[in-house]
Chains A and B, each alone.
Chain A
C-alpha cells in the first residue's frame, strides 16, 4: 500500500525484530491518580498509566469501561478531571468516524489547524504516505469508508505527533479494509516511531499491533500483557492464539468448548 521513501525507515517491516525504537527511557504519557466522574459516578477511578515514547499500547475493555473517556482526556477534549495528566504537546487523534470537514477538499482537511500557511505539498506527502496521493483534490463525500479513514490518518500524521491516539479507527471498516488499514498503521508507526494509544474492542487487533495490551475495567487498568511476538505477527501462530485466549478470558469471554483456530476474536 503506502510505499513512501521520503524519510528513512526505522525498523524494516519485514525484518524479524522491528520493535527497536529510540528514546527507550523517555515518557510519552504519564497519568497518575486520574479520576473522571459523570454525575458523581466515576468512570475513571484513580487510574495510573505510563506510556514510553515510541511504544504502541492497545487499550481493551468492555463497552462503557471508560477507555474512550481516557482517550478523550489524553486528547485534551475532556478537562473535567482530577489528577495528573502529562501528554506531549504534539499529539493527534484519529476518531472512529473519519470526521473530515465535508466542505473542505481532502488536502485542505489534512492541513486544517496547522499553524501558519502550510504548503499543499505537505498534505500531498502525508496523503501519499497513506496511499491517497491521487485523492487530494477530492471532496470527502466521494471517498469510500476506508479512504476517508486513511485521510483522517493522514491528517493526524501531518502534525508529526509524538503521541497518536486512535479511537477504534477500524471499527466501522469492513473486514478486508480493516486488515489493510491495520497493516498501514503498523507500517506508519514503525516509520514514524511515535507513541500510539489504540483504543479497541478487538482482541486480535490489539495482539496484532501492540507492544503492550492493557485491559481496562471498573475505571482502572485491571490487567497488563506484554506482547513480545516478532513482527510482522502471524495470527496462526500458536503463541498468538494463546495470548488472545488469555486476554479474552480477562475480558470475561470464555473460550468455546470446541476451540477452533482462526475464529473471530471480538470481545463483547
Chain B
C-alpha cells in the first residue's frame, strides 16, 4: 500500500502541460491472479455433495454407537436399524403403513391446496374478498391446528376424515398466506403494461397476476409439505389403526426404539422426496426468474 500525498502547490494555472515534473514513477502495484470460477469449483457432482452431509451424520452415529456412548436401548446402531427396516419391509407392515400415510398426505395436501389457493385468490384479486376472507383467515391461523384434533375426532369420528381434515387445515394456511402475498406483490408497472396492451380483466389475472404470484405459491407449497408431514404424525399418533404413526405408537408400547427410529427415517425420506418434487417444480416453472442461485 502506498500513502498518497497531496500535490505540491503550484503557481501555474490548473491545467499544466508539463508532466515531466513528477518526482518518481509510482511503485508497481501488487498483482494478484484471478482464478476462473470454473476451476475454483470442485469437480464433485452436485448430488454427491448434497449427500455428504447425511452420510457424515450417519458416520457420527455409527461411531457413537460403536464406542458405547449411545446405548442400544436409547438409540440402536445404524446396522440394527437397517436390519429392522429390512424385516419390516419383508413382512409388509412398513410398505402398507407407508401407502396409507402417503395417501392421507396426498388427499390432505390436495384439499388444502384447493382451499388455501382458492381463498387466497378470492382475497387477493378482489377487495371485497379481502374484506370478507382475510380477517377471518388471519384470526383462525393463530389457532394451533393440532389442538383441534380432539374436536375433529368428536365431529368426524375416528376414521380417515379427522386425519385428512387436520392435514388440510395445516396445509391451507401457509398456502393462503404466500399466494395472497404473491398476488399482492405483483409489480403494478407490469399490470399497467398489461392493461395498455388491451388485456381483459381475466387475461390480466391469467397472464400477469397468477404467473407473478407463482414464486410465492411455491414458497407456500414448500411450507405446506413440511406441515403436511407434521400434521400426519400428530393425526396418526392420536388414534389410528394403520399408517406410520400407528407403527410408531405400537413400537413405543413394545419399547422398540429401533422401529421408532426406522419410522422417523421413513418420515425424513418422505420429506426429502417432497422437497425434491418442489425443487423440480420450481426449476420447471420458475426458470424465468432472474435471481441469485448461489455460488
A90-98, A124-132, A177-185, A218-226 - the one binding chain B: A90-98
A37-45, A99-107, A257-265 - the one binding chain B: A99-107
Q: Which of B198, B199, B211, B287 has its CB near the most chain A CB atoms (within 10 A)? A: B198
Q: How far does the Cβ of B125 sit from chain A's closest Cβ, in whole Å?
A: 18
Q: How far does the Cβ of A135 sit from chain B's closest Cβ, in whole Å?
A: 14
A113 touches B211 (CB 8 A): no
B193 touches A103 (CB 8 A): no
A101 touches B189 (CB 8 A): no
Given contacts A101-B207, A101-B211, A103-B212, contact A95 B288 (CB under 8 A): no
Binding site for B on A (CB under 8 A): 75-77, 92-93, 95, 97, 99, 101-104, 112-115, 139-141, 155, 159
Given contacts A112-B207, A155-B197, contact A99 B287 (CB under 8 A): no
Question: Cβ of A114: which chain B residues have Cβ within 8 Å of it?
Answer: 198
B190 touches A101 (CB 8 A): yes
Q: How far does the Cβ of B288 sit from chain A's closest Cβ, in whole Å?
A: 5
Partner of B199, one of A75, A112, A141: A112
Q: How far is the CA of A77 from the CA of B211 in the complex (A)?
A: 22
Query: Is the contact region of chain A dominated by helix, strand, or loop, or is it mixed?
Result: loop
Q: How far does the Cβ of B207 sit from chain A's closest Cβ, in whole Å?
A: 6
A-B contact pairs, 11 of them (CB 8 A): A77-B195, A95-B189, A99-B190, A99-B192, A101-B208, A102-B288, A103-B212, A103-B214, A112-B199, A139-B288, A155-B197
Given contacts A101-B207, A101-B211, A112-B199, contact A77 B192 (CB under 8 A): yes
Q: How far is the CA of A99 from the CA of B207 in the complex (A)?
A: 14
A102 touches B289 (CB 8 A): yes
Q: How far does the Cβ of A237 sit from chain B's closest Cβ, in whole Å?
A: 32
Q: Which of B189, B196, B198, B288 has its CB near the most chain A CB atoms (within 10 A)? A: B196
Question: Cβ of B207: which chain A residues have Cβ within 8 Å of it?
Answer: 101, 104, 112-113
The digit string for B177-203, where 1 denotes a CB below 8 A from any CB of A, is 000000000000110111111110001
Whether a CB of chain A sits under 8 angstroms from the CB of B27 is: no
A93 touches B196 (CB 8 A): yes
Question: Cβ of B290: which chain A residues have Cβ within 8 Å of it?
Answer: 102, 141
Given contacts A97-B189, A102-B289, A139-B287, contact A76 B214 (CB under 8 A): no
